[in-house]
Structure 1
């Protein structure tokens, strides 16, 4: 696919750490309950670690108890893209950054009482967090 941000495999390897590369560029998964953003609760914005594309508002984050940061919707239409994923022997929906094509996680329609009924289960290592700044 043609993405706004394109790099060679070598450039991605140089830009990202080993775990970041494995998850973002090879569709790996970080271990549950290990991500630095799992318990982040401040207002702010989550972006793609590979390219900086803003993906999720902190106001849509919720505790799904699954071990990965979970959100009920992306920040805006077109922030992410979806791909069918059959790698575990059943269909899942993979979520990728729409700007650079990096793997972020999966979306599941399993409810959790969210306004959309969706759980965007994201790998913490795929995200950066920028807290909102409050003017005093």
Structure 2
């Protein structure tokens, strides 16, 4: 029984020495984790947002069709030719643009002109405008 106490006591003493040796051993101390410097740039992926294929965004003061607008319209042409009717609605925010009605109509008429040049029958189209929304663009509403 005494030998068991001695064995237990020596085991506890040995364990204590091992632990105290780790504290004084610099190589056994945990290494600090590096912190990013303030000049490091963190890259956050941008979520992919689905773009409405029936809405063409315009700059606030522009009514000119861009090559991107034309490419977007080209994708819609088969659908527009096959449909019965559609509305080309120009948007311009009257709170941001002095003559919003003219801007909205100019956008819609430019889209209408382009579609006619591409062979879409003008009798299927009606042109409208809206100046109440905060949008700047043209929306195509098929069978609208």
Bucket of the pairwise TM-score, normalised by the shorter protein: under 0.3
